[in-house]
A and B are shown apart, each in its own frame.
Chain A
Amino acid sequence: MFLLRMAFRNIFRQKRRTIITGSSIVGGFALAVIFIGWADGSYNGIIDQFTRTRLGHIQIHERAYLDRPSLYRTVDDPAAVGAVLDGMGEVESWAPRVYAAGLAGFGDKSAGARIVGIDPRRESRTTRFDRTIVEGRALGGPEAREAVLGRGLAEILGADLGDEIVLLSQGADGSIAEDLFTLVGVASSGDDMTDRTTCYLPLATAQEYFVLGDKVHEIAIVVTRLSRVRDLSEDIAAELADPDLSVAPWQVFAKSFYDAMQADKAGMWVILVVVVIIVAVGVLNTVLMAVLERRREYGLLKAIGTRAGRIVRLVVLEVLILSAAAMVLGAGIGLGVNAVLAGHGISLGSEFTYGGMVFDTMRSEINLRSFAIPAVTVFVAAVLVSLFPALKASRTEPAQTMRMH
Chain B
Amino acid sequence: MDKGTDHLIVTESLAKDYFDGGAPVPAVRGIDLTIEAGEFTAIVGPSGSGKTTFLNLISGLDAPTGGKVWLKDKLLSGLSGNELSDFRRDHIGFIFQAYNLIPVLNVRENIEYIMLLQGVPEKERRERVGEILKEIGMAGFERRFPPKISGGQQQRVAIARAMVSRPELILADEPTANLDSGIGAELLDMMRDLNRRTGMTFLFSTHDPMVMDRADRVVTLHDGRVAKDDRRART
Contacts and interface: CB of A to CB of B under 8 A. Distances in A.
Interface of A: 2, 5-6, 9-10, 13, 296-297, 300-310, 397-399, 402-403, 405
A296 B89 contact: no
Contacts of B79: none
Contacts of A398: 61
Given A2-B116, A6-B105, A399-B56, A306 B85 contact: yes
Interface of B: 52, 56, 59, 61-62, 81-82, 85-90, 92-94, 96-100, 102-105, 109, 113-114, 116-117, 161, 173
A9 B102 CA distance: 11
A301 B101 CA distance: 9
B117 A305 contact: yes
Contact of B89 (A2, A5, A304): A304
Given A6-B104, A303-B94, A308 B81 contact: yes
B105 A308 contact: no
Contact of B82 (A6, A300, A308): A308
Contact of A402 (B81, B82, B99): B99
A13 B105 CA distance: 11
Contacts of A5: 109
A53 B22 CA distance: 79
Contacts of B97: 405
A307 B86 contact: yes
B86 A305 contact: yes
Closest 4 pairs between A and B when the two form their complex, measured CB to CB: A305-B89, A9-B104, A399-B62, A399-B61
Contact of A303 (B61, B105, B109): B61
B94 A304 contact: yes
B81 A303 contact: no
A403 B85 contact: no
A393 to B, nearest CB: 13
Contacts of A10: 104
Given A300-B96, A302-B85, 16 more contacts: A6-B102, A13-B103, A297-B103, A301-B102, A303-B94, A304-B94, A304-B113, A304-B114, A305-B86, A305-B114, A305-B117, A306-B85, A306-B89, A308-B82, A399-B61, A402-B61
A402 B86 contact: no
Nearest to B99: A296
Contacts of A301: 102
Contacts of A303: 59, 61, 88, 94, 96
Given A305-B117, A399-B62, A402-B96, A300 B102 contact: yes
B102 A297 contact: yes
A307 B62 CA distance: 16
B105 to A, nearest CB: 7
